[in-house]
Amino acid sequence: MTHPRAVLTLYDQPMWQSIEARKWELQRCDGCSKYRYPPAPNCPHCLSLAYTWKPLSGRGKILSWVVFHRQYLDDYPPPYNVVAVQLAEGPIVISNLVGEEPKGSWIGREVEICYEERAAGTILPKVELA
């Protein structure tokens, strides 16, 4: 087992730089104003190649969640949660809910992005209940 590495294509690198600065940015299409995730060379909606990096509002809603009971990665001893969050800007991202956990269903709960320093000294965006 090793530490999980982020996929770092040419288009991912500016995003991770913004995360390091604790100000997560995604590409917003200059043509149709839609945000996209993961970062990509063009807008999958209108195919425009023009985009601007925009900071996220930090708001989102939980679409689903799981709890890992098996260890796959050194950094993640079980049990730990993973959530799918639909950002206010539209895209769905994967993260972990830190802090207080909801009683009952997590789906539909409002969350806010926060930042956590990982062992390797890197910053990872997480979410907490709003």
Q: Interface with another protein by CB under 8 A: which residues?
A: 1-7, 37-38, 44, 63-70, 72-73, 75-76, 80, 82, 84, 91-96, 105, 107, 124, 126
Residue in 111, 124, 113, 14 with CA at minimum distance from that of residue 75:
124
Alpha carbons 69 and 118: distance in angstroms, whole number: 21
- Half-sphere exposure of residue 44: CA atoms within 13 angstroms, side-chain side: 7
CA distances from 104 to 36, 42, 61, 88 (A): 31, 40, 16, 23
What Rg value do the Cα atoms of the chain yield, rounded? 15
Q: How far is the CB of 53 from another protein (least distance, A)?
A: 18
Q: How far is the CB of 122 from another protein (least distance, A)?
A: 8
Q: How far is the CB of 1 from another protein (least distance, A)?
A: 6
Q: How far is the CB of 107 from another protein (least distance, A)?
A: 5
100 vs 108, beta carbon nearer another protein: 108
33 vs 96, beta carbon nearer another protein: 96
50 vs 67, beta carbon nearer another protein: 67
